[in-house]
Amino acid sequence: MPRVQYTNKDVALMARMMRAEAEGEGRIGMLGVGNVIVNRRKADCLDFEGLRTIPQVIYQVQGGNYAFEAVQKGNVFYNRARSKEKRLAEQTLKYWREHPSKYALWYFNPYGECPSTWYGQPFAGQYKQHCYYEPEANTCEGAYRW
């Protein structure tokens, strides 16, 4: 059983997002971004309450801007989803969940050292240029469900 329900359109959209946000970080970097997308869909807490679909996660607006830089800047629309990224997107939708993004709801590239917190949430780890942050367990149980 997959971690969340999805359609082929969800896979293609997620694959485009993963490529736009982390193509330069290779397979593991793209899987980490995909995992954050799935975690936000599952969490139903904090800034991510009421998100029921992959498109809702990807096109979410927070503070007047899209939550993901690739949507804000349009990068997600420059390249179509290739079969390689589609396979990675399906992996995260079905089962992939590894450190440092295992429970992460946020990531970003600070172009420097990772801060110890991001939006008040603790640093979980780093993969190449992306820093990952997960909620404290008592603030978001949904992020810790399979």
Q: Is residue 3, in this structure, part of any structural domain at all?
A: no
Q: What is the count of structural domains for the chain?
A: 1
pLDDT at residue 127 greater than cutoff 90:
yes
pLDDT at residue 146 greater than cutoff 80:
no
Q: Is residue 2, in this structure, part of any structural domain at all?
A: no
Q: Is residue 108, in this structure, part of any structural domain at all?
A: yes
What's 25's domain CATH number?
A: 1.10.10.2520
pLDDT in tens, 105-116: 999 999 899 999
Q: What pLDDT score does 81 carry?
A: 87
CB 22 within 8 Å of CB 79:
no
**Residue 36: domain span:** 8-144
pLDDT in tens, 64-94: 999 999 999 988 888 888 999 999 999 999 9
Q: What pLDDT score does 71 carry?
A: 95
Residues 100-126, mean pLDDT to the nearest whole number: 95
Q: What pLDDT score does 61 carry?
A: 96
Q: Is residue 27, in this structure, part of any structural domain at all?
A: yes
Q: Is residue 46, in this structure, part of any structural domain at all?
A: yes
- Whole-angstrom distance, CA of residue 24 vs CA of residue 118: 23
What are 65's strand-pairing partners?
62
DSSP 30: H
87 phi and psi, to 5 degrees?
A: -65, -40
- Whole-angstrom distance, CA of residue 116 vs CA of residue 133: 9
Residues 51-70, mean pLDDT to the nearest whole number: 95
pLDDT at residue 145 greater than cutoff 90:
no
pLDDT bucket at 44, cuts 50 / 70 / 90? very high
- pLDDT above 90: percentage of residues in the chain: 84
Q: Is residue 1, in this structure, part of any structural domain at all?
A: no
pLDDT bucket at 138, cuts 50 / 70 / 90? confident
pLDDT in tens, 11-29: 999 999 999 999 999 999 9
